[in-house]
Copies of this chain bind each other. A is one copy, B any other.
Amino acid sequence: MPPTPSPHTPRAVVLLSGGLDSATTLAIAKAAGFQCFCLSIDYGQRHRAELQAAAAVAAAMGASEHRVLRLKLDDFGGSALTDNSIAIPVDGVEAGIPVTYVPARNTIMLSLALAWAEVLGSHDIFVGVNAVDYSGYPDCRPEYIEAFERMARLATRAAVEGATLNIHAPLIDLGKAEIIQRGTELGVDYRLTVSCYQADALGSACGACDSCRLRRAGFVAAGMADPTRYAA
């Protein structure tokens, strides 16, 4: 059981995918003294195991609450992550924006986090984007996060009433190895996390997609044993 937070403990909404980055982000938010409300979006991603991983991570890290919101982005299609007719690339990270990019995903997720933050009376949103060892998605870049924050500061009742909304992206300048080191210091159990774009129902990783490659290289660079369960 997590200790009961004081009513004065500030609240944060943490976007939690169930992957390595968002688990580390949750640990950072908690270490910064926030009462953490974790939000996962079931957007029709084919790697369903990440949602179970998110629940396990939220419980292990003592989150105050974990919600999964259903949003059928697969109706729009346009991404290998939501459209089963587009194959997940397994031949290495290529230049340009890959087919695993989900149109406007971070904008949508941050918007939903903003809505929940407003209802919770929270002025802080944490998101685990990073722009170093990443897949080249436009909505992971620092200038994008800054623009979202500027917009969010005009969007809400709290903003009109004088509060300042903060979008925290504490991993944005970190490499994968640094992220793993930081999370390990903060007690993240990476066995619980699922990063693979095509993880099986048990959360076992393919070892070949971009996300698996970046993750595996991170553990190697951090000089740590890789706790990932790979499919046989």
Contact = CB atoms under 8 A, between A and B. Distances in A.
Interface of A: 67, 69-73, 75-78, 97, 101-108, 110-112, 114-116, 118-119, 138-139, 141, 143-144, 147-148, 150-157, 159-160
Contacts of A116: 76, 103
| Stoichiometry, copies per complex | 2
Contacts of A141: 154
A183 to B, nearest CB: 27
27 contacts: A70-B70, A70-B72, A71-B71, A76-B115, A76-B116, A78-B115, A78-B119, A97-B160, A103-B118, A103-B119, A103-B156, A104-B156, A107-B155, A110-B111, A138-B156, A138-B159, A138-B160, A139-B154, A139-B155, A139-B156, A141-B154, A147-B150, A147-B151, A148-B151, A148-B155, A150-B150, A151-B151
Contact of A76 (B73, B103, B119, B147): B119
A75 B107 CA distance: 20
A41 to B, nearest CB: 10
Contacts of A101: 157
Nearest to A110: B111
Contact of A112 (B108, B118, B139, B143): B108
Contacts of A152: 107
A66 to B, nearest CB: 13
B154 A144 contact: yes
A141 B153 CA distance: 12
A97 B157 contact: yes
Contact of A118 (B70, B78, B150, B156): B78
A10 to B, nearest CB: 18
A156 B111 CA distance: 15
B103 A157 contact: yes
Nearest to A78: B119
Contacts of A112: 104, 108
A67 B77 CA distance: 13
Contact of A69 (B75, B104, B105, B151): B75
Looking at A67, A72, A76, A151, which has the most chain B CB atoms within 10 Å of its CB?
Answer: A151
